[in-house]
Structure 1
Amino acid sequence: MTDPDKPRKKRKSPLWARLCAIFGCILMVISGGTIVATQVVTARVNGAVPPGDLLPVEPGAPVKRADIKGPLNILLVGIDPRNDTTAPLSDSIIVVHIPQDMSEAYLFSVPRDLIVDIPPFAKTGFRGGTSKINAAMSYGSSVGNGKHDVPQGFSLLAKTVSKLTGIQTFDAGAIINFGGFKKIVDAMGGVTMTVDELVKSEHLAPDGSPRPRSARCRDPRSNCDHPYTGPQKTYKPGTYHLQGWEALDYVRQRYGLKNSDYDRQRHQQQFIKAMADQAFSKDVVTDPAKLGAVLEAAGKSLIFDGNGNSVVDWAFALKNIRPANMTLIKLPGRSVITNGSYKGEALDDTADEFFASIRDETVDTFLLQHPEFINKA
């Protein structure tokens, strides 16, 4: 982790940077603005990011939107790398809301341990029930014979988030594989961001190597909250240029933080904005080798459903979004403790008022009345 270089000269907004600003720098694609994208480049971009059927399709719904107009709601989900025999869990859930004029964006995170009502899901025979929201993908992913389909699981998660927020449908969705995420950051040349509190890594040593398991936790049957031992990678308050492994490690930490997962959510949102800043300042598309590395990493780490529209369609539609007009939102919540045992998280009642402001297109008014909902970048 090294000190950042001097500020870079501002440049025109490339098309992949527009996507970066919304999708957390995952859909970094092609040069735009005053540069006309050729059919060859466009095909390369669309071919790099595999489409997926992520969003629930209601009977009678159109197969493709005629165009992309606000207001828009996008669901982003981060998962650990898993094979098709392991049920997926959504470790990070972020909703991006874009008002009707499509000039700004609001990002809010849903706590992974939030206790919610998960709707029934006919494809897996799940009858519905109350559980932590990160289990929704698992309940929706089974395809039989011990196999799991992540995009199918996303569909049930989307229904669950819709039930929670009252957002009837999502206009786009993406699944981000954390392992590939690290490669994207490295393909960009790292990312500069500000660390706002002392963070110690639960998982990695100072050199980035995995921390060994403590003797009492080496038995896989043991139930250890903190199974690792030895020196820890430490992130001190300040501004740094993070490599891919550092970025991924930092945004995943919650143990030892004052507000646990709520602080982690803030760090993830801050990093998304930092990546957007980096995307606007880096001219990746002029370097064919670097652009190729970014596209390859994106293709391996992302599944995207644009509701019938391609990543390039979305890039042009979101051309006015900039890091400066991205507002990071924190939802107020609390831990649920029953008989001394942690059960999960619950949101305060004011969160329902925030969700209503999204549906009513009154977010600005709500935030003026509730400035405590705004996370510092």
Structure 2
Amino acid sequence: MVTSGGVLVTGQALIARYTGDVDADGSLIGDPAAGATKGSEEIKGPINILLAGIDPRDDHTAPLSDSIIVAHIPASMDQIYLFSIPRDLYVEIPAFSKTGFTGTHSKINAAMSYGSSVGNGKHDVKQGFQLLTKTVTKLTGIDDFKSGAIINFGGFKKIVEAMGGVTMTIDMTVKSEHLQPNGKARPRRPECAANNCDHPYIGPQKTYKPGTYHLEAWEALDYVRQRYGLPNSDYDRQRHQQQFIKAMAKQAMSKGVVTNPTKLLSILDAAGDAVTFDGQGHSLIDWGLALKDLNTDNMVSIKLPGGGLFEGTKYLGEQLDPSAQDFFAAVRADRVPEFLLSHPEFVNKNS
């Protein structure tokens, strides 16, 4: 979206050809809102957008949402607040009639899996996203998501490659669980061939040290997916993913992209393999135009406080601090700035 705003006014017909594979025609959130039109002028704040990142999977494998992020844009349409929902958050996943699922309590990343079955052993990630949306609504009370997107990490690497990598600040030392310093996969320990080990890899690790770097696509994607060995595990990873989004948005709005039609179209072409977008009756072009005046420097990264949830000694997952519900109420009331003034600890200092 942030890439498109600067150039779509003069190239809508051409770019529509590239973004056709991205638009999901209302299949993520549900049917388009009554009266929705194709005009960007109809897209007004406050706006809540739900994003889910998934690993590449075939249609015979149930999807899991490895990353869940909500973007809140206030009525003033001049700011973006990003907050992540821990993938291991232990929540109520509501019933879902399309799959006959009766509901349960489980980690939130399983919601897409419970909602994705379409019969004959096949799974549809778009249908799974619908249950994820219901689950996030149950958790946060936010029931007016105006758009949603699924990001396939495998395809998303192509977008970063088309951009020529990304410049971002690394705020702590991070060692890769999966890759060697040359970017090749680390070998597995023989006894872990069946994926039954917590740390199955051996050999030298790619290490990311504090500082500002221009990362290649494989480095950026690897860095933001690490959580093992981090002091705060998935909470640190959430912050890194939000930093990555901000860095990508800032670079997308740079002159090297928005004034370079060749690079821009290669990015949009790559998006067809990486992103499935539901604009609730509005195309990706409409959204790009509606949000073209957003300043990426005004993107605020939010951290939700929480910790482990145990049943005796059994780890069930993560739980949020009760104060998170006050934050969700502020989002629903479009009063996030006021909340953050009273609760500055919710703002990621390294974003």
* Range of TM-score over shorter length: over 0.9
Whole-Å separation in 1 of the counterparts to 2:198 and 2:55? 19
Question: What residue is the counterpart of 1:262 in the other structure?
Answer: 235
Whole-Å separation in 1 of the counterparts to 2:168 and 2:238? 15
Question: What residue is the counterpart of 1:322 in the other structure?
Answer: 295
Q: Please tell me whether the aligned partners of residues 194 and 237 of structure 1 are also in contact (alpha carbons under 8 angstroms).
A: yes
Whole-Å separation in 1 of the counterparts to 2:5 and 2:144? 28
Q: Please tell me whether the aligned partners of residues 71 and 83 of structure 2 are also in contact (alpha carbons under 8 angstroms).
A: yes
Whole-Å separation in 1 of the counterparts to 2:19 and 2:244? 25
Task: Using the TM superposition, name which of 243-252 and 281-290 deviates more.
Answer: 281-290
Task: Give yes or no for the alignment of 1:303 onto 2:276.
Answer: yes
Task: Give yes or no for the alignment of 1:214 onto 2:184.
Answer: no
Tell me the secondary structure at the aligned position of residue 240 of structure 1: strand
Q: Please tell me whether the aligned partners of residues 72 and 171 of structure 1 are also in contact (alpha carbons under 8 angstroms).
A: yes
Whole-Å separation in 1 of the counterparts to 2:286 and 2:85? 27
Q: Please tell me whether the aligned partners of residues 75 and 94 of structure 1 are also in contact (alpha carbons under 8 angstroms).
A: yes
> Size of the alignment, in residue pairs?
346
Question: What residue is the counterpart of 2:313 in the other structure?
Answer: 340
- Residues 133-144 of structure 1: pairs in structure 2 closer than 5 A: 133-144=108-119
Question: What residue is the counterpart of 1:78 in the other structure?
Answer: 53
Whole-Å separation in 2 of the counterparts to 1:30 and 1:187? 18
| Unmatched runs of 5 consecutive residues or more in structure 2 | none
Tell me the secondary structure at the aligned position of residue 36 of structure 1: helix
Task: Using the TM superposition, name which of 282-291 and 234-243 deviates more.
Answer: 282-291
Structure 1 residues 285 and 357: alpha-carbon distance in aligned structure 2, compared to 1, 3 A threshold: closer
Whole-Å separation in 2 of the counterparts to 1:205 and 1:71? 44
Question: What residue is the counterpart of 1:363 in the other structure?
Answer: 336
Deviations 1:167-226 (A, max 9, x none): 1121000000001111111110111111000100000000000001012212x1x52111
Q: Please tell me whether the aligned partners of residues 187 and 203 of structure 2 are also in contact (alpha carbons under 8 angstroms).
A: yes
TM-score normalised by L of structure 2 = 0.94
Q: 1:312 aligns with which of 285, 309, 312?
A: 285
Q: Please tell me whether the aligned partners of residues 251 and 257 of structure 2 are also in contact (alpha carbons under 8 angstroms).
A: no
Q: Please tell me whether the aligned partners of residues 15 and 265 of structure 2 are also in contact (alpha carbons under 8 angstroms).
A: no
Structure 1 residues 285 and 99: alpha-carbon distance in aligned structure 2, compared to 1, 3 A threshold: closer
- Residues 102-181 of structure 1: pairs in structure 2 closer than 5 A: 102-181=77-156
Amino acid across the alignment from 2:221? L
Q: Please tell me whether the aligned partners of residues 24 and 278 of structure 2 are also in contact (alpha carbons under 8 angstroms).
A: yes
Whole-Å separation in 2 of the counterparts to 1:230 and 1:135? 31
| Unmatched runs of 5 consecutive residues or more in structure 1 | 1-18, 21-27
Tell me the secondary structure at the aligned position of residue 228 of structure 1: coil
Q: Please tell me whether the aligned partners of residues 182 and 245 of structure 1 are also in contact (alpha carbons under 8 angstroms).
A: yes
Tell me the secondary structure at the aligned position of residue 108 of structure 1: strand
Task: Give yes or no for the alignment of 1:234 onto 2:200.
Answer: no
Question: What residue is the counterpart of 1:201 in the other structure?
Answer: 176
Structure 1 residues 282 and 245: alpha-carbon distance in aligned structure 2, compared to 1, 3 A threshold: farther
Structure 1 residues 42 and 290: alpha-carbon distance in aligned structure 2, compared to 1, 3 A threshold: closer
Shift of 1:237: 0.7
Whole-Å separation in 2 of the counterparts to 1:39 and 1:241? 31
Question: What residue is the counterpart of 2:76 in the other structure?
Answer: 101
Q: 2:326 aligns with which of 353, 357, 360?
A: 353
Amino acid across the alignment from 1:64? A
Amino acid across the alignment from 2:328? F
Shift of 1:296: 1.6
Shift of 1:63: 5.9
Amino acid across the alignment from 2:263? K
Amino acid across the alignment from 2:60? T
Question: What residue is the counterpart of 2:30 in the other structure?
Answer: 56
Shift of 1:291: 2.7
Q: 2:226 aligns with which of 244, 253, 258?
A: 253
Deviations 1:214-263 (A, max 9, x none): 12212x1x521111110000001111100000010000000000000000
Whole-Å separation in 2 of the counterparts to 1:63 and 1:215? 58
Q: Please tell me whether the aligned partners of residues 31 and 280 of structure 2 are also in contact (alpha carbons under 8 angstroms).
A: no
Question: What residue is the counterpart of 1:37 in the other structure?
Answer: 10
Amino acid across the alignment from 1:44? R
Whole-Å separation in 1 of the counterparts to 2:282 and 2:191? 51
Shift of 1:39: 4.3
4+ long deviations beyond 4 Å: none
Question: What residue is the counterpart of 1:13 in the other structure?
Answer: none
Task: Give yes or no for the alignment of 1:87 onto 2:62.
Answer: yes
Shift of 1:341: 2.9
Tell me the secondary structure at the aligned position of residue 283 of structure 1: helix
Shift of 1:47: 2.2
Deviations 1:259-315 (A, max 9, x none): 000000000001111111211224335444423321221111000000000111111
Task: Using the TM superposition, name which of 184-193 and 332-341 deviates more.
Answer: 332-341
TM-score normalised by L of structure 1 = 0.88
Same amino acid, percent of matched pairs: 64
Q: Please tell me whether the aligned partners of residues 176 and 223 of structure 2 are also in contact (alpha carbons under 8 angstroms).
A: yes
Shift of 1:50: 3.6
